[in-house]
Amino acid sequence: MKLMEVKDYKEMSEKAAKIIIEQIKKKPNSVLGLATGETVLGTYAALADDHRRNGTSYERVHTFNLDEYLGLGPDHPNSYHYYMNRHLFSHIDIPVSQTYIPNGLADDAEAECKRYENLIDEVGGIDLQLLGIGRNGHIGFNEPGTPFSTVTHVVELAPSTRQANARFFPTLEDVPSKAITMGIATIMKSGHIILLASGKTKAPIMAQLFEKDVTPLIPASVLKTHPNVTIIADQEALSLV
């Protein structure tokens, strides 16, 4: 894992956006794996800004999001579909038909997981995957204990994850209890992975990530076995390392 220590959230976001833009310039039909949450908002804002100023084009790019809550549709303001449209897709020139997010309203969630995994393989796999990290070390919604062999699957969210994400919902009860997420094996198939971490709330898990061996109890620790991972973390996130 290559570590880029940066000053703050702004610098982390700019560095991440720069890597993504370079990837698209190098390969205009890149397949990007995208994350949601607070950490990546600045990166998306920087990509939108670059598109506006410099015209970097996403016309040939395909994107696959890591996860989606079960039970929330694209029009629900707390769905990851809604988040992606609001924070990235509506600001760049990517055709909607090339943006993939698991369908949280699928009648058959298991079939949706298979369809999603197959779609990723059909486009030739993910070139560059952007990741945040949960406070308990989750990546996507792969909670501690998830076997490293899992592909896209339905998950029961850990109480601590629902609690952490409750800040985006009216009440804790409104946070869905299940989600569809790319599996750890799905994420590990990506050519290059960027993990972002910012702020004091991520300091304890970042310390564990560097100190502990590879273990399913810290899902992000699997990244140590991937040949091409870049961690971009700010001083607060690294304050306990």
Residue 209 identity: L
By CB under 6 A, residue 65 contacts ligand GLP:
no
Kindly list the distances between the CA atom of residue 189 and the CA atoms of 128, 173, 183, in Å, as whole numbers in the listed order. 10, 35, 10
Q: State yes or no: is 153 an active-site residue.
A: no
In a 10 Å sphere around its CB, with 0-12 CB exposed, 13-18 middle and 19+ buried, how is residue 143 labelled?
buried
CA 186/CA 203 separation, integer angstroms: 26
* Catalytic annotation, pick one of 67, 68, 112, 127: 67
Block residue for tokens 């690294």: 238
Token pair 């009648």: residue: 107
Q: Which of 6, 42, 63, 67 binds ligand GLP (CB under 6 A)?
A: 67
Q: Which residues contact 111 (CB under 8 A, 6 or more apart)?
A: none
176 binds ligand GLP (CB under 6 A): no
Respond yes or no: is residue 81 known to be catalytic: no
Instruction: Name the catalytic one among 50, 68, 143, 236.
Output: 143
Q: Which is nearer to ligand GLP, 92 or 130 (CB)?
A: 130
Specify the residue, 66 or 88, whose C-beta has the smaller distance to ligand GLP.
Answer: 66
* Contact (CB, 8 A) for 71 and 104: yes
Query: Which of positions 199-238 make contact with ligand GLP (CB under 6 A)?
Result: none
Residue with token string 């449209």: 85
Q: Closest distance between ligand GLP and the C-beta of residue 137, in Å?
A: 10
Per-residue contact flags (x/-) with ligand GLP for residues 123 to 162, judged by CB under 6 A = ---------x-x-----xx-------------------x-
Tell me whether residue 118 is one of the annotated catalytic residues: no
Q: Would you count residue 165 as binding ligand GLP (CB under 6 A)?
A: yes
Question: Minimum CB separation from ligand GLP for residue 201, in Å?
Answer: 7
Which tokens hold the place of 40? 């990546």
Question: Is 75 an annotated catalytic residue?
Answer: no
Q: Which of residues 24-53 bind ligand GLP (CB under 6 A)?
A: 35-39
Residue with tokens 């994400």: 165
Do 128 and 30 contact (CB within 8 A), yes or no?
Answer: yes
Binding site for ligand GLP (CB under 6 A): 35-39, 66-67, 132, 134, 140-141, 161, 165
Catalytically active residues are: 67, 136, 138, 143
